[in-house]
Amino acid sequence: MLTYTYSARNTSTGETVEAELEAANEQAAVKLLTDRGLSPIDIRPKKEQTGLLSHFRDRISTKQKVIFSRQLATMVNAGLPLVQSLNTVRGQTKNPVLKTVIISVISDVEAGSTFADALSRHPKVFDNVYISLVAAGEASGTLDTSLERLANQQEKDAEILSKIRGALVYPAMVILVLIGVVIFMMTTVLPQVESLYKGIPGAKLPFVTVILLSVAHFIIHFWWLVILILGIGGFLLVRWARSPDGVQVVDEIKLKVWPLGPLFTKVYMARFARTGATLVASGVPMIKMLNTTAEAVNNVHVAASINKATEQVKGGKALSDSLKGDPNFLDLVPDMIHIGEQSGALQDMLGKVADYYEKEVDEQIKAVSTIIEPALMIVVGVIALIIVAAVLLPIYSLAGKNLSGGI
């Protein structure tokens, strides 16, 4: 059930009432108020709580959406009516947010909406690819097949993202440990070396030790300012990265900067081909397919290339010719599309492109991991050398003075 805030006039007393109520949708909320003798003035969904905790609590994972799609496909394939199938899936769903969405979808379908239109009212849960495939499945009478294809595509996308995140876990852990060790050395060990030198008249600390001690003193005395600067800087960086200008720069980095550029380019090629193959197989028209894949690739530069190709296709040009020579597309993609256009098997060719680049992504992740690990070791070695030099040079200097004084 959804929660609504409302203001209504009591038809008996004329008083205005403001409160909350739960209903499947807005029409059901109006009916409830009318049955209570209230005349609705304003009804709107209750604003969702914002914050990190609510984000994780209200999150619907890809795995849960895959299970929803597969269960619904099984029910529809078995010949059950759509509303009965949705009610059955709702009973098996444990996520309360997804369950609320399903209840709303059931209510809309019972009120006469198509399944695709009902899903489109929840864009945070069901993206344009999902809605387009469901609409095509409803129109062709193959809803169960479309839902199976959706589940397969979601699993493929989730698998690729999981592999990329997994490859970044080790470098992230090494960097965090390195930062912790450096802070410990600078705030604990170096001040002890400084106090040792203070008791020796005329003793001078090496330049590298002086620099690191200055940083250490700043961290020790102004730790709150360091945390504040890092917090504000991180917030502003994230906010900028989500702005239109920031998205342009970040997506450009993903495509161009080595060694991540080749990896993300192949991810986008696989995503474009897999989404296109799924949509074409479900009977989605070419222009609609291209518009949907432009949203699905999740990179503004690749999306711009697809949109440019879409305009050329509208003018009568073949898709393969429209994509050929585009800097954001690898040559194999238009070549394979051309074969598919000539043979009438575009769906199969796009599927083969997706399979090829998904395997290439696996190999590229291994290659990036192989490069990152020794690079991290070099960085760790250089930082360790600087810290050790800052600690040991003063000690060796003192030892040298004692030896020369003894002689």
Assess if residue 248 is contained within a domain.
yes
Judgement on whether residues 17 and 91 belong to the same structural domain of the protein: no
How far from the centroid of its chain's Cα atoms is residue 38's Cα? Answer: 44
Assess if residue 207 is contained within a domain.
yes
pLDDT of residue 397: 66
What's the whole-model pTM score?
0.69
In the predicted model, is pLDDT for residue 182 greater than 70? yes
In the predicted model, is pLDDT for residue 370 greater than 70? yes
Worst-scoring range by mean pLDDT, 205-209, 335-339, 374-378?
205-209
Reported confidence tier of residue 46, pLDDT bands at 50, 70, 90: low
% of the chain residues with pLDDT over 90: 2
Judgement on whether residues 353 and 377 belong to the same structural domain of the protein: yes
pLDDT in tens, 13-22: 777 777 776 6
Reported confidence tier of residue 54, pLDDT bands at 50, 70, 90: very low
Residue 138 to residue 119: CA distance in whole angstroms: 13
- Arithmetic mean of pLDDT, 175-195: 80
pLDDT in tens, 84-94: 888 888 888 88
Assess if residue 52 is contained within a domain.
no
Residue 318 to residue 383: CA distance in whole angstroms: 55
Judgement on whether residues 120 and 181 belong to the same structural domain of the protein: no
Number of domains in the chain: 3
Give the tokens for residue 31: 């009916």
Judgement on whether residues 101 and 128 belong to the same structural domain of the protein: yes
Give the tokens for residue 325: 């020579």
Q: How is 157-213 classified by DSSP, letter by letter?
A: HHHHHHHHHHHHHHHHHHHHHHHHHHHHIIIIIHHHHHHHHHTSTT----HHHHHHH
Domain that holds residue 309: 150-407
Put the strands of the sheet holding 16-23 in their side by side order: 16-23, 2-10, 38-45
pLDDT of residue 291: 86
pLDDT in tens, 235-277: 999 888 888 888 888 888 888 888 778 888 888 888 888 888 8
pLDDT of residue 47: 60
- Arithmetic mean of pLDDT, 97-102: 83
| CATH of residue 362 | 1.20.81.30
Judgement on whether residues 358 and 229 belong to the same structural domain of the protein: yes
Judgement on whether residues 99 and 196 belong to the same structural domain of the protein: no
pLDDT of residue 232: 92
Worst-scoring range by mean pLDDT, 34-48, 117-131, 275-289?
34-48
| CATH of residue 34 | 3.10.20
Assess if residue 55 is contained within a domain.
no
DSSP strand E in 289-337: where? none
